[in-house]
Each structure stands twice: as C-alpha cells, then as structure tokens.
Amino acid sequence: MLAAAERAWGEECGVVGIYGDSDASRLCYLALHALQHRGQEGAGIVSCDGGQLKGITGLGLVSEVFNHSKLSKLPGSSAIGHVRYGTAGDSVLKNVQPFVAGYRFGSVGVAHNGNLVNYNELRIMLEDSGSIFNTSSDTEVVLHLIATSKARPFISRLVHACEQLEGAYSLVFLTEDKLVAARDPYGFRPLVMGRRSNGAVVFASETCALGLIEAEFQREVNPGEVIVVDRDGVSSLCLMPHKERKACIFEHIYFALPNSVVFGLSVYQTRYRIGEVLAEEAPVDCDVVIAVPDSGMVAALGYAYKSGVPFQQGLIRSHYVGRTFIEPHQKIRDFGVKLKLSPVKEVLEGKRVVVVDDSIVRGTTSSKIVRLIKEAGAKEVHLRIASPPITGSCYYGVDTPSREELISHKLSIDETCAFIGADSLAFLPLERLRGMLGHSAPTFCDACFSGNYPILPKHLDLPPSGVDTRIKEPVVLPVA
Ligand code: SF4
C-alpha cells in the first residue's frame, strides 16, 4: 500500500493478545510485524509477569520500537500488543497503545482497533464525574469506565463498560491473571482466535498474524462476544445486546492482507473475484493489465484473467520510502508518487493500458498515477477501481477525509475521469459487490459507498435507513 501521507484513506490499527506461552512478548512482536500494514505510526506491547504489567510503547514501525533488549524487559506468559495508525496531530507517544491503568482492584492493559461514536459524550460524562484524561484517544474512556464501574468482579466491570460503548471496537485486555477479547455487537472490525500447539491462546486482528506465529485458526470472536482466558481455560460470554452484524467490507477491498481470511472469507479470493467482475462490467480493448501496487494487485490479476489480456508489472513500488517521507514543499510535492511508484517503460510504451486500483479517495493520487503512466509512453490509460465510489466518511475506525473532500461525493464518474485525466474510468458497482457477497451481503457495512450508516455519532443527524442524506462535517475523532 502507498504510505498514508499520499493515500489519505488511512489504515486502521492492529491488535494481538497471547496467553499461556513463556515467549508471549516475543510472539506478540512477531504477530505485530504481520499486522504492520494496519498501522505504522506506533507500536507497543504489555506483558504480565508475576502479577505485574509491564509495557513498552514507541513511535515508528515495530522493528524500530523493539529490539532484543527491550523484549527481554517484557517477560511473562501473557501479553497484548498494538500497532497504531493515527492522524498527524495525534501521533504523540502518549497516544500509542496498549494503555495500562491501575484501579482499586488491580491493573489492566488494553489495545483497541476501531472508533467509538459516543466518545465525546462518554468523555464529558466521565470528566464531569472527576475523571482526568491523559490522552486524546477514545480507548482511554474504556479504562475509565472499567475503573469507575460499581460492578464486581473484573469481568462484570468490563462488560458493564463495553455496554456503554457505541461504535466499533475489537479490544484485547490484559490483567494480572486474565487475557480478555471483546468485539462490538456489530462486529465492524475483525478479531480472530487461534491456538499454538502448546495450547497457548492467541487473539489477532487478522489470520495472517496467526500464521506467522504458528497458531492454528480456531474461530472469530463473535460480534458482541467477550472471551476470557485464564488458568481455568477459555470461557465465552455473550452479554452484549444482539445487533445485526455489520462487518467492514473495506477490510476485503483494501486493509487486510490478501493471505488473511477475514469475516470467514479469503481476502485474496474476494479481490480476485472483484477483478473478474470489473472485467465483466467494464471491458475495454487493451494490450496490458497492470496494478497500482500493492492493494490493486490481486484485483488486477482477476481482471486480466477474465479479460484474457496479459497482466504485467507496469508500476514498481519502492519498499524503502517509509512513512517518515516528508514532501519538502508544494512546488515539488508531485515527487511523492514518483518516489513510491516507478513506471516500467518497456511494459507501457505505445500500449493501451488498463490500470487497476483499490479505490479513489480525493482523486489527486489517481491523477498523478495516470500522468506517470502516460509520461512513460502509454497510448491510452483506462482506470478500473475495485470498489464502488466512496461518497461518505467512515465513523468506525478508518481515518477518512471529510465527505466534502471525497471526489465521488463532488463529481460524477465522467467528471472524475476528466479530473484524473484517464481515457476511461469504471468502478465496481455496489449491486455487484453485494451480489458477490450473496445472502451475507446485509451482514456487511458498506456505508462509505451507500450512506447506510448502522450507527452515527450522536451529534450527527441520523439519516433514514438507506437514504444518503447530507451529513454534516464529521468531527475529527481519534482513530484507534
Ligand atoms: S463506512 Fe466503509 S470503511 Fe467504515 S466500516 Fe463501513 S465499509 Fe468499512
């Protein structure tokens, strides 16, 4: 994927939890590597040893935050970890998770993927009753709700806290004697459970993390479920009110790695099929199919297969332009895309090119990519997008620009094509995406395409179901 600075459609976060392995923090470290694509701003691990929680967090990639000596300071047989994506203003060390807090009956660590839509209300309520906040992250309200709950024991406090949360959360908690995983009743963000051959229990945002640490996938943490792991074994509580499941379809289109199985579906197979459908929906006479690497790759393979046109690598992505790349000033900003993507002249020169990308957000990156391909000598550039047009912001843990900045909110497909400078432009139709999902389509959230928001932040007017009404400018909520 392109770096967030260019991509605007920000990655989310990744969480991991391990119980029952003497190498818990090292396994956490490896699992976080596998989840690095979900966030590059910061990383952290908290482990429990002898009833004491110890944590290390830092800004940067997992490999930059941790080394051998730091990991050796995190002993114990249970641990939780987090990779964070954050907007620029939020990327301060104190916002990097896991967070740890002490309360009357002990300590608790938490790592969160998602976004709470009632964060503002909860924070005001807690501050009115005397809570003092240390961060600008919505995750901190979870700790305050646990600390101030009158329920006993810990699990009842935790469930009581979760019952007050609205929005998206896949959470892992660590206490002196327990690892707990919880997922919001809609199940917006993924969370899976696996086991290592020594019996250690693992929770992770994606199955690709299980694979790396040789844990066998067991099942998803179900929406609304709380799973407790302690010395008595694994127990499941389904205490939160049942809602219709709304899993984020964008996990399949963009976020998750193709080798993951997310919400019970192979990401690779979904993307490949999307490419095939795009070829059926928007065929064009062309000589070569290329992808915008990495997230357009699998859909491009599907498009090429279905259309019978060879796939070639027309754009090479640099793996060495990191998230710290700073575009020096406006005048030479365009170098950003050129640094990240290099055209292969031999593939493109004189050709009619289909280029497949995962999505269009503001349209500026797409126009630079089309220009790059044309400058390399392509005769025609036909852009095929492996998602429907994005017309609305996300409130469930994906850092999107405001609705007014989304090109598909402002312009028709023809106008977008003209803006981008492509010879033709086609998106995956929303009906075809839903058709691919079959009877499970209603269990997916597609609000950023359809406007059907399952739940909105309290201060926004709730549109009637299925109606894409004008939504006011969203407030900037911290992204977990
Ligand atoms: S609004 Fe879009 S990105 Fe957000 S959860 Fe729904 S499908 Fe995913």
Q: What is the pLDDT, as a whole number, of residue 90?
A: 56
pLDDT(21) > 80: yes
| pLDDT tens per residue, range 142-152 | 999 999 999 88
CB-ligand 1 contact for 254 (6 Å cutoff): no
Break the chain into its structural domains and give their ranges: 4-245, 267-440
Whether domain 267-440 has CATH 1.10.1760.20: the reply is no
| pLDDT tens per residue, range 84-121 | 986 443 558 888 999 999 988 899 999 999 999 999 99
Q: What is the pLDDT, as a whole number, of residue 242?
A: 72
- Between CA 200 and CA 78 the distance in angstroms is 9
**Helix, strand or coil, per DSSP, at residue 318:** coil
When pLDDT is cut at 50, 70 and 90, the band that residue 239 belongs to is low
- Between CA 385 and CA 389 the distance in angstroms is 8
Residue 258's nearest CA partner among 215, 310, 301, 226 is: 301
pLDDT(222) > 90: yes
252, 446, 450, 479: residue to mutate for ligand 1 pocket, most atoms within 8 A of CB: 446
Q: What residue owns the CA closest to ligand 1's atom 4?
A: 394
Residue with the bigger pLDDT between 323 and 319: it is 319
- Among left, alpha and beta (phi > 0; psi -120 to 50; other), residue 164 is alpha
Q: Rounded to 5 degrees, what angle do the CA atoms 410, 413, 419 make? A: 70
| pLDDT tens per residue, range 39-49 | 988 999 999 99
Q: Which of 100-109, 189-198, 335-344, 462-471 has the lowest mean pLDDT?
A: 462-471
pLDDT(206) > 50: yes
When pLDDT is cut at 50, 70 and 90, the band that residue 342 belongs to is very high
Domain 4-245 top-level CATH class = alpha beta
Is 445 annotated in a binding site? The answer is: yes
Stretch 140-165: mean pLDDT, rounded? 93
CB-ligand 1 contact for 11 (6 Å cutoff): no
Stretch 14-35: mean pLDDT, rounded? 98
Q: What is the pLDDT, as a whole number, of residue 373?
A: 98
Residue with the bigger pLDDT between 144 and 460: it is 144
Q: Rounded to 5 degrees, what angle do the CA atoms 24, 30, 31 make? A: 85
CB-ligand 1 contact for 398 (6 Å cutoff): yes
Distance 78 CA to ligand 1 centre (A): 32
